[in-house]
A and B are shown apart, each in its own frame.
Chain A
């Protein structure tokens, strides 16, 4: 590689890293407990076992569950209903308006067999909530999310440029060389190179999927304006229905239209994930990948008939798949532990990179490039030799 190019890559690596390192350190530190948020939530709050009921007790209808939640919060309207995977529980989200802010919403867990309330899962306060907000948007809403997304993008550029500048350093060293006893700087350099290059793909995937997740709100808005608008075009001029058809029948209709899929959640008319005239029943498949590939079945909220069911467009599929690949929650506890260890290595890569900059050679970059050049000449190659 010509010297001018190598010089440019060094500068790209230095500056992209410097700008994003502080934020990436924050993301890695807050991400560590978030990997285990399920376990931590269970441990802090505990999960009361469901009351025993006689075997073969039939499920009450979903409409009973919604009625129970609304009785707990009079004057509110149902927004979402989601299904627990491992127990006969649905979670009903209610709020004052169709587009309620998250802080105004109430989430009530309801036993499907008794329609009794078994828990309240409102937007939690506490340490985990603070950690989550720091990780997602720095308490700054969408601008905060997009800002962190940009930092993630810089991190990705820093990874790519890091690989380019890795090569000249390693030309005379065996892979995995750690010169720990010669100088502190050399020790940190070798550690930075080793940890960065071994975990490169994980760092890149978790970084990029994080960036994609920050685009969640804009992408959903595009989906609503694009595919959802197309699917519900005939309803465009109709008034929003006053009364909704039974929910249970709507979900049954959706499930009959998509054999082999299970409902994950229902969005009520008017909310972000539905149209103004439909129950959107979001169905999912059976494997972790197809589980993410939700297909919305739109059920006319007045007649209860299926309007349309269409696979999500590619950008929504990418968004959905970016969630497990970023969270690491799709392969059991061992995968979470690996995620945590790789996260610790990411912290070490960031920390060692920062050290290398703070304790940088007082030698200017030109002189360091000279040293690499001398190396090449000694090896019988001219600096400008094409590689």
Chain B
């Protein structure tokens, strides 16, 4: 395996931070109302699951 360059903390945590924010928005949205708010909530909390699926599929490809 070719060792890539050492990454900065910001680079290491960029995706986790984005997923954390998406999760937070998802957790809060459905509390605020129904309909559209529920939809936002589903998308926000689906984000971490989709990223896991992406990582697994990329690995297999």
Contacts and interface: CB of A to CB of B under 8 A. Distances in A.
Interface in B9-61: 9, 12-16, 19-20, 23-24, 27, 29-34, 37-38, 41-42, 45-46, 48-49, 51-52, 54-56, 58-59
A1 to B, nearest CB: 10
Given A172-B3, A342-B49, A331 B42 contact: yes
Given A170-B12, A174-B4, A289 B42 contact: no
Given A167-B9, A194-B52, A331-B38, A338 B45 contact: yes
Given A172-B6, A195-B52, A288 B23 contact: no
Contact of A341 (B41, B49, B56): B49
A167 B55 contact: no
Given A171-B7, A180-B59, A198-B16, A342 B38 contact: no
Contacts of A331: 29-30, 37-38, 41-42
B16 A178 contact: no
B16 A200 contact: yes
Q: Is the interface of B mostly helix, strand, loop or mixed?
A: helix
A68 to B, nearest CB: 33
A338 B38 CA distance: 12
A172 B11 CA distance: 10
Contacts, number: 110
Interface in A187-230: 194-195, 197-202, 205
Nearest to B50: A198
A325 interface: yes
Q: Is the interface of A mostly helix, strand, loop or mixed?
A: helix
Contacts of A175: 12, 14-16
Contacts of A183: none
Nearest to B48: A198
A125 B39 CA distance: 36
Interface size of B as a range:
35 or more
A287 interface: yes
A285 to B, nearest CB: 11
Given A175-B16, A325-B27, A335 B38 contact: yes
Contacts of A52: none
B6 A287 contact: no
B23 A171 contact: no
Contacts of A342: 45, 48-49
Interface in A324-340: 324-325, 330-332, 334-335, 338
A171 B13 CA distance: 10
A172 B7 contact: yes
Interface string A231-242: 000000000000
A119 to B, nearest CB: 27
Nearest to B4: A172
15 contacts: A175-B12, A175-B14, A176-B15, A176-B54, A178-B59, A197-B19, A198-B19, A200-B16, A202-B23, A287-B32, A287-B34, A334-B42, A335-B45, A338-B42, A379-B5
Interface of B: 1, 3-7, 9, 12-16, 19-20, 23-24, 27, 29-34, 37-38, 41-42, 45-46, 48-49, 51-52, 54-56, 58-59
Q: Closest 8 CB pairs between A and B?
A: A331-B30, A176-B55, A201-B23, A379-B6, A289-B31, A198-B48, A201-B20, A175-B15
